[in-house]
Structure 1
Amino acid sequence: MHGLEVLSFEDYLASLILKRDAYYPSPFVLSAVGGGGKTTTLLHLFADHFRERSILTTTTSMGAPKAGGSLSPPLSEALKNNEGLSHITTSPPLESGVWFSNRYLDIPGKHKGVDRNAIDHWVREERKEQRRDSLLLCEADGAKRKPLKAYASHEPVIPETTDLTAIVFGLSALGKPFDESIVHRSNIFSEVTGKAQGEMIDFSDIEQLIGSGHFLKGIPLTSKVAVILNQADTLDPKDQADENLERWAHRLLAFRSIDAVFFTAYSKESRKTLYGVRRTTDFSPPVSAVIMAAGLSKRMEGKNKLLLPLMDRSVVSRTMAQSLRSDIRDFVVVTGHEAKAVQSEIGKALEEEMRFDQQLSVVYNRDYQEGQGTSVALGTRYLAPESAACFFIPGDQPFIEPLTLREIIEHWEPETIVIPLLGGRRASPVLFDRMFYDDLSKLTGDLGGRQVIMKHESHIKEVEVSGNNPFQNFDLDTPDDYEKALREMSEKGH
């Protein structure tokens, strides 16, 4: 299998944090699900100081890290002496610490989880303040300290703001008879894998849990997905050989949503990655954007508004640059009026901002004078085949915020049309699930995506988005709008 890089889980996490910092300031959120050492993994990462502040939390329930007994895993001396793990609060700690909800009155040392919405709200508020000093480690389901599990209908509870979802399996279960003592929610596990009680558990059962989509439920589009196969030191020595671990890793990487696979041995006193590998090319379903850059600018008194200068860039170049700084990976630019000049301005943004994991195509709309609907339809037909959802971004929105785009994506669900609200009023851009691509590809006239929105009112999800820039939904239609934009640029020093 080509396009792979061998590395440890710690190096993988550090690289993702570094990459996130290059986009925009934000806490980095890692959510762990599954069984077989999930809590131990998070505790070790807490102590590693990937960022200035480490926050351990849960959306379900969890024992205090130093509670001992059946409530928490055994700790090394270093973890026992870690002051942050003793600092438990019911609000986000200002320094490294543990963020839980209230205690269970009948179970000393056990705490209720933090509401997922509270976690997401805190992350978005930190983004607004441009803070990037925190690594938030969230245990997003429970496994009763068993090596394997299956999800109940209410699981997992993964925050929408998650950047990396780690699916943890305990390999100590391999070669053992299948029953509830080994697998939490064994009845559901049996339904998913076809495994009968008493049959031996093998690696193909883990493959089935991933391949069926069972363990991909609830993972945000903006999250990378890594599989951690912990307790690898319990395998038979021949199964611990690099060539076998590599073969097993490749079997899981056959599923395009999986970005990386790690075989680890996390225990009380030590931890190591026996073998780890990640893709160098992202094959997960991308979020797409069609940049609408074909219009006639009829209200701009003879000027093409997309080519007007705003500080050091043109309007369309700035819109393109802002979009490229987001989590969108698949772009289609639709040109029409003054296509060569517009494409040249687009090219300037690409030279400075385009990342290796992004792809872009430019298509010319011969029917651009017939209205925006023709550009929406043409752009939709050129989206990546695996595209999960798509924005339609007007080329004259130079103040669009990458973090606003991220927040809209975080609210995506299958078969929805996500419409952002700013101050309670509908705004753009709207995010359409791929379910609506067929309708979008047939549009005509000048209403654009509004025709599809009116047709599918029951699928609309309105979300109030945060952000510090009241101009982020501002588009330039008239000379007065352009003058306002120039003043905004001058005052803010963009």
Structure 2
Amino acid sequence: MIGLTNTPVVAVILAAGMSRRMGAQNKLLLTIEGQPMVRHVVLAALASRCHKVLVVVGHEAECVRQVLCDLPVEFVLNPAFAEGIGASVRAGAQAVSRQQAVLFCLADMPGVSARVIDRLVDAFETNRGFMGFAPVFNGKRGNPVLWVPGCVSRLREAAGDEGAWGLLRQYRDRVMAVEVTSEWVMVDLDTPDDFWRVYNRRTSNPAHRLSRLS
């Protein structure tokens, strides 16, 4: 596969999950520095070099749509959202053509910046022979992950809670590790403790807050 500068990259925000581990409230609607969590993720994608942004919705779809209604995004409904993240990957991939690369962003990773996304797009455009591109911080692979057009058909078959991990395992030697300086590629917010520790503690290190990381 070849990364080409004229191949559009579509950002797909996976925002359909039920966030069971967070409790009764949909974590994507929790406020971080004045905005819902999902909005931070979408704004980063919109500020990046991605061609367009799709948002996969499912659980509380109308609430998620509402907090994004003023933004230039396209919504993709995943009616099978209770199945797990694989159904959202599948729905997102079905909305992307086989001539487009796709970047999957997790909607509960609000610290991932446009700069990180652009690092992945740059890697895709300038490196041949890779199937995917993943950010790496301190030797550990994180998210989001960009896949070349040739992977779209396989992504349309994703299922369960595994998402695209099957592809990552199959093509582990052909997924380029893209070094980044932002630890946010490793930080997703699954539980109330996660949210409190990262954003709400008065004693937290300012270096861990959204406003201080890129």
TM-score by length of 2: 0.86
- Please tell me the residue identity of whatever aligns with 2:188: D
Identity of aligned residues (%): 30
Matched, 1:328 2:58: no
Q: 1:400 touches 1:473 (CA, 8 Å); kept in 2? A: no
Distance 1:305 1:473 in 2: 17
Distance 1:342 1:219 in 2: 33
The CA deviation at 1:364 is: 1.0
DSSP-derived class of the 1:291 partner: strand
Distance 1:461 1:445 in 2: 25
Q: Pick from 485, 489, 492: which aligns with 2:198?
A: 485
Matched, 1:308 2:30: yes
Q: Pick from 403, 409, 412: which aligns with 2:115?
A: 403
Matched, 1:345 2:67: yes
Matched, 1:361 2:83: no
The CA deviation at 1:487 is: 3.7
The CA deviation at 1:298 is: 0.9
Q: Could you report, residue by residue, the CA deviation over 1:425-465 in whole angstroms, capped at 9, with x for unpaired residues?
A: 01111111111111100111110010111122332211222
Q: Could you report, residue by residue, the CA deviation over 1:323-350 in whole angstroms, capped at 9, with x for unpaired residues?
A: 11111112221101000001111224x1
Q: Pick from 106, 127, 144: which aligns with 1:429?
A: 144
Matched, 1:287 2:2: no
Q: 2:18 touches 2:82 (CA, 8 Å); kept in 1? A: yes
Q: 1:417 touches 1:459 (CA, 8 Å); kept in 2? A: yes
* Partner of residue 104, structure 2: 392
Distance 1:484 1:424 in 2: 23
* Structure 2 portions without partners, runs of 5+: none
Distance 1:315 1:484 in 2: 15
Q: 2:133 touches 2:178 (CA, 8 Å); kept in 1? A: yes
DSSP-derived class of the 1:442 partner: coil
Matched, 1:457 2:169: no
Q: Could you report, residue by residue, the CA deviation over 1:145-174 in whole angstroms, capped at 9, with x for unpaired residues?
A: xxxxxxxxxxxxxxxxxxxxxxxxxxxxxx
What pairs up with 1:165-180 in 2 under 5 angstroms? none
The CA deviation at 1:319 is: 1.1
The list of structure 1 runs, each at least 4 consecutive aligned residues, that deviate by more than 6 angstroms after superposition, is none
Distance 2:168 2:75 in 1: 26
Matched, 1:475 2:188: yes
Distance 2:196 2:69 in 1: 25
Matched, 1:438 2:129: no
Pick closer, same or farther for the CA change 1:439–1:408 going to 2, 3 Å. same
With CA pairs under 8 Å and 6+ residues apart, which has the higher RCO, 1 or 2? 2
Q: Number of residues paired by the alignment?
A: 203
Distance 1:295 1:436 in 2: 23
The CA deviation at 1:488 is: 7.9
The CA deviation at 1:384 is: 4.5
The CA deviation at 1:420 is: 1.4
Distance 2:3 2:146 in 1: 18
Pick closer, same or farther for the CA change 1:346–1:473 going to 2, 3 Å. farther
Q: 2:13 touches 2:56 (CA, 8 Å); kept in 1? A: yes
Q: 1:420 touches 1:462 (CA, 8 Å); kept in 2? A: yes
Q: Could you report, residue by residue, the CA deviation over 1:306-331 in whole angstroms, capped at 9, with x for unpaired residues?
A: 01111221000111111111111122
What pairs up with 1:189-204 in 2 under 5 angstroms? none
Q: Which has the larger radius of gyration?
A: 1
Q: Pick from 133, 149, 157: which aligns with 1:418?
A: 133
The CA deviation at 1:385 is: 5.4
Task: Quote the RMSD (CA, aligned, Å).
Answer: 2.2
TM-score by length of 1: 0.39
Matched, 1:379 2:101: no
What pairs up with 1:30-109 in 2 under 5 angstroms? none
Q: 1:289 touches 1:331 (CA, 8 Å); kept in 2? A: yes
Distance 1:400 1:219 in 2: 22
Q: 1:391 touches 1:430 (CA, 8 Å); kept in 2? A: yes
Q: 1:220 touches 1:410 (CA, 8 Å); kept in 2? A: no
Q: Could you report, residue by residue, the CA deviation over 1:361-382 in whole angstroms, capped at 9, with x for unpaired residues?
A: 2111111001111110110111
Q: Could you report, residue by residue, the CA deviation over 1:35-55 in whole angstroms, capped at 9, with x for unpaired residues?
A: xxxxxxxxxxxxxxxxxxxxx
More helix by share: 2
* Structure 1 portions without partners, runs of 5+: 1-217, 222-283, 355-359
